[in-house]
Each structure stands twice: as C-alpha cells, then as structure tokens.
Amino acid sequence: MTAPKPAGPAVIAGAQADGDLGSAAPRGAPPAHHTIILQLDVASLVSTGNDPVACIKENPGRIRSIHLKDWSPENGYKVLFGEGKAPWKKIFAAAESVGGVEYYLIEQEGSQYPELETVERCLKAYKALRA
C-alpha cells in the first residue's frame, strides 16, 4: 500500500535537539516531524568548489527538488544552463537513483540573450542532456 501524498505543498525543516537529523522518509511517504528534505542549488555548490553529486549521495532520499542553475569561473551565474562546470548527467543519475528528486527547476540569473531566447536555449540544453 502506498502512503498518501500530502494534500498541498509543504515546507519542512528542523532537527531534534540532540542533533539527530532523522532518516529520510521513503519517496511519497508523509515525512516524520524531524525529517529534513533539501532543495539543492547546484550552482551554489559548484561555485564554492563543492561536488553536487557527492552531496546528493550523502543525503539519500532527501533531495526533493533541484535548481538547475549552472556556474562558470568566467561568467559566474550568468552562464546558461548546460554551459558551465556542473556535471549534469552525473547529477541527474544520482538525483534519480538515490536522491529522491521529484522536481527540477531551471533557474537562470542573467544572460547575454533576451529573456525568451534565454529560456529557449536553457530548455534546448536540458532536452539534449536528458536525451
């Protein structure tokens, strides 16, 4: 029997006083009161020299959504999705095999292109990476 999904969106954050973060709830199960879920911001990890794939693997079942935002040393956050340093195919594989991802959110901070062209380019890159 599958546990029912919550009726609406939920924001869950917290930890027990003893520092125990609890265990991740199975995908689709109602979270325990001390379960922490994460929305991963890939560009923030990459820009600080951290490995998003390792972060996903270190937090199995907790990565419910991921900001698909790229970063490069030359252009910072203004690089288009798929044109920076993030290892997207490895990120998708980890997120879908152990991360528990439910949503991908393409996020773009600035661009050298007009807004709609930026969106088209980001979607094209996403589809190419997912092919």
Query: Which amino acid, residue 124?
Result: K
Phi first, then psi: give them for residue 65, nearest 5 degrees.
-145, 155
pTM, 2 dp: 0.73
pLDDT of residue 35: 72
How far apart, in whole angstroms, are the C-alpha atoms of residue 114 and residue 24?
Answer: 41
pLDDT of residue 19: 36
CB 70 within 8 A of CB 42: yes
Residue 123, phi-psi category: left (phi > 0), alpha (psi -120 to 50), beta (remainder): alpha
* Number of helical (H) and strand (E) elements in the chain, helices listed first: 4, 3
pLDDT of residue 130: 92
Residue 117 parent element (H or E): helix 115-130
pLDDT of residue 67: 92
CB 69 within 8 A of CB 42: yes
Tokens matching residue 23: 């265990």
pLDDT of residue 37: 86
Over its length of 131 residues, how does the chain's per-residue pLDDT go in tens digits? 444 444 333 233 323 333 334 444 444 544 444 378 889 999 999 999 999 999 999 999 999 999 999 999 999 999 999 999 999 999 999 999 999 999 999 999 889 999 999 999 999 999 999 98
